[in-house]
């Protein structure tokens, strides 16, 4: 993590007050949460509409903070403490992260996309760890606050940083990529997430492509070659990096020639090498995610023949296709972290085609941030379900009730169960499950369907 004197810090960000008596003070690490202060931290308070972190600055010092930023429009900064007054604390945090990144001899892999970016981050970090010291984005620290904190947490001798870049609107990815200056960028796909903010898949594609604005010379741009919106926009790309594509179709640089699914994951082969890869993660869509990570690893001179060693120890961030067991012996696919029509269809396809289970149940919650067509997206999702492959459709939430309505066009009514209350939903599921049952739980994060998973395990 960053370890610098305040004299060095004032060369990285613009400080508006005199700090001559504190120039030798050394900060080590940065936090924005006064509850998580560690000795030597720089505390960064934010001023919001409903709360103001500046109220906790003195408390942060009592807990061991070495210094703190202070936004200049906030009155009454503490006296006789190493307080650094700045125009805006968020901007200063971002500038500090950029300054620190510029001082490090580190390669950066930047990953974005509508779906799968966290999974690709985890896969990429595992493969690169075969040969390098790697750090990656932890949890969901992938936005205009989280990514600067991730950069500031990098050790001085880290060789590769794998950074996830999320967004909610136009211009956010551009900000992140200019801070990080990636050597490699990956665009996993273009889905429907953020339609509410951006209005169209075309606008989403444009926003995701902002990532290449920070791409360094002689780097690598990896993207899904099956996505027409990306192909159209990159056909005349003449930037500083090489392009590589992955996908199902054979016009891609890397594509699968064989995929075999099982209860624990997938085995697959690709066009470029005679090796069978063993991926301990469910879903053919995760084979595609793995191939994007493989292209990155090969750029860093890791041979395909070694990559199974990286896949073997792969552990994904929680609630991403996480296979757990319930109290009745049922298997549960916990994919409750997020959802869009693209990712929900992929998860449904997975459970639909899984062998060896007598009963298959899907528990689907609201998909959020889909804009004016949100009800239609949910209805079409239900309408497309196959009663020959799914035994019960269980929904939770006002939007997901439209999934149930769509499913009723093809399913007997007794096999479709919409709920607006989790306790009743959980009790119904417990009646339906045994050791020959597999359940998919999928929804947007705001629906908190991991609570259903936890209840089934008790």
pLDDT value at residue 264 = 75
In CATH terms, is domain 322-457 a member of 3.90.190.20? yes
* Tens digits of residue pLDDT in 113-125: 988 899 999 999 9
Pick the closest to residue 353 from 260, 249, 257 (CA basis).
260
* Tens digits of residue pLDDT in 218-259: 999 999 999 999 999 999 898 889 999 999 999 999 999 999
pLDDT value at residue 157 = 97
* Tens digits of residue pLDDT in 364-408: 999 998 988 999 999 999 999 999 999 999 999 999 999 999 999
Report how far residue 159's alpha carbon sits from residue 134's, in angstroms, rounded to the nearest whole number.
6
Which 3-state string (H, E, C) describes the chain? CCEEEHHHHCCCCCCCCCCHHHCCCEEECEECCHHHCCCCCEECCCECCCCEHHHHHHHHHHCCCCEEEEECCCCCCCCCCCEEEECCHHHHHHHHHHHHHHHCCCEEEEEECCCCHHHHHHHHHHHHCCCCCEEECCCCCCCCCHHHHHHHCCCCCCCEEEEECCCCCCCHHHHHHHHHCCCEEEECCCCCCCHHHHCCHHHHHHHHHHHHHHCCCCCEEEEECCCHHHHHHHCCCCCCCEEEEECCCCCCCECEEEEEEECCEEEEEECCEEEEEEECCCCHHHHHHHHHHHHHHHHCCCCHHHHHHHHHCCCCCCCCCEEEECCCCCEEEEECCCCCHHHHHHHHHHHHCCCCCCEEEEEEECCCCCHHHHHHHHHHHHHCCCCCCCCEEEEECCCCHHHHHHHCCCCCHHHEEEECCHHHHHHHHHHHCCCCEEEEEECCHHHCCHHHHHHHHC
Structure token digits, residue 337: 């972290």
For domain 104-312, give its CATH number from 3.90.230.10, 1.10.357.10, 3.40.47.10, 3.40.1190.10. Answer: 3.40.1190.10
Pick the closest to residue 160 from 114, 119, 219 (CA basis).
219
| 163 Cβ neighbours under 8 A, 6+ residues apart | 108, 109, 110, 111, 121, 136, 137, 142, 147, 150, 151, 176, 180, 182
Whether 253 contacts 217, CB under 8 Å: no
Report how far residue 446's alpha carbon sits from residue 70's, in angstroms, rounded to the nearest whole number.
32
pLDDT value at residue 250 = 96
> What fold, for 3-89?
3.40.1390
Report how far residue 433's alpha carbon sits from residue 456's, in angstroms, rounded to the nearest whole number.
9
What mean pLDDT do residues 177-195 have? Answer: 91
* Tens digits of residue pLDDT in 58-81: 999 999 999 999 999 999 999 999
Pick the closest to residue 330 from 435, 204, 200, 456 (CA basis).
435
pLDDT value at residue 59 = 94
What mean pLDDT do residues 264-287 have? Answer: 90
What mean pLDDT do residues 195-208 have? Answer: 86
Give CA 405 to chain center in angstroms. Answer: 31
434 or 264, greater pLDDT: 434
User: Where do the structural domains in the chain lie, given as residue ranges?
Assistant: 3-89, 104-312, 322-457
Report how far residue 18's alpha carbon sits from residue 151's, in angstroms, rounded to the nearest whole number.
27
| Residue 262 in this model has a pLDDT that exceeds 90 | no
pLDDT value at residue 239 = 87
pTM for this predicted structure: 0.84
Residue count of the chain: 458
Q: What percent of the chain has pLDDT over 70?
A: 99
* Tens digits of residue pLDDT in 305-332: 999 999 988 877 776 778 889 999 999 9
Tell me the pLDDT band of 139, cut-offs 50, 70 and 90.
confident
């Amino acid at each position: 993590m960053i370890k610098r004197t305040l004299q060095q810090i004032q060369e990285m960000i613009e400080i508006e007050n005199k700090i001559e008596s504190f120039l030798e003070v050394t900060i080590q690490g940065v936090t924005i949460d006064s509850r998580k202060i560690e000795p030597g931290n720089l505390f960064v308070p934010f001023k919001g509409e409903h709360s103001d972190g500046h109220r906790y600055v003195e408390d942060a010092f009592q807990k061991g903070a070495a210094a703190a930023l202070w936004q200049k429009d906030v009155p009454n900064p503490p006296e006789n403490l190493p307080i650094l007054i700045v125009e805006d604390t968020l901007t200063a945090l971002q500038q500090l992260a950029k300054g620190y990144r510029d001082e490090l001899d580190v390669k950066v892999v930047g990953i974005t996309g509508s779906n799968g970016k966290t999974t690709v981050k985890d896969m990429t970090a595992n493969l690169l760890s075969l040969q390098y010291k790697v750090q990656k984005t932890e949890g969901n620290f992938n936005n205009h606050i989280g990514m600067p904190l991730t950069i500031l947490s990098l050790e001085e001798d880290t060789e590769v940083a794998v950074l996830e870049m999320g967004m909610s609107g136009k211009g956010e990815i551009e900000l992140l990529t200019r801070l990080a200056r990636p050597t490699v960028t990956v665009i996993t796909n273009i889905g429907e997430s953020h339609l509410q903010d951006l209005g169209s898949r075309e606008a989403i594609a444009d926003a995701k492509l902002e990532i290449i604005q920070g791409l360094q010379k002689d780097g690598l741009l990896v993207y899904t070659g099956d996505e027409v919106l990306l192909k159209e926009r990159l056909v005349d790309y003449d930037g500083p990096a090489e392009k590589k594509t992955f996908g199902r179709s054979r016009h891609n640089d890397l594509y699968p020639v064989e995929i075999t699914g099982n209860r624990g994951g997938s085995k697959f082969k690709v066009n470029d090498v005679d090796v069978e890869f063993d991926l301990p993660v469910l879903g053919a869509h995760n084979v595609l995610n793995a191939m994007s990570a493989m292209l990155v690893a090969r750029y860093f001179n890791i041979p395909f023949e070694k990559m199974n060693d990286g896949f073997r120890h792969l552990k994904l961030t929680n609630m991403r296709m996480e296979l757990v067991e319930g109290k009745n012996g049922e298997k549960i696919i916990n994919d409750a972290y997020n959802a869009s029509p693209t990712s929900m269809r992929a998860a449904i396809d997975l459970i639909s085609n899984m062998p060896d289970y007598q009963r298959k149940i899907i528990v689907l919650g609201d998909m959020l941030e889909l804009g004016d067509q949100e009800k239609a997206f949910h209805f079409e999702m239900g309408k497309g379900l196959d009663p020959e492959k799914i035994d019960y459709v269980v929904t939770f939430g006002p939007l997901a009730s439209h999934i149930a309505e769509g499913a009723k066009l093809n399913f007997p009514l007794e096999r479709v169960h919409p709920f607006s209350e989790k306790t009743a939903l959980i009790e119904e599921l417990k009646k339906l499950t045994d050791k020959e049952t597999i359940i998919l739980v999928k929804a947007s994060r705001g629906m908190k369907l991991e609570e259903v998973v936890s209840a089934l395990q008790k």
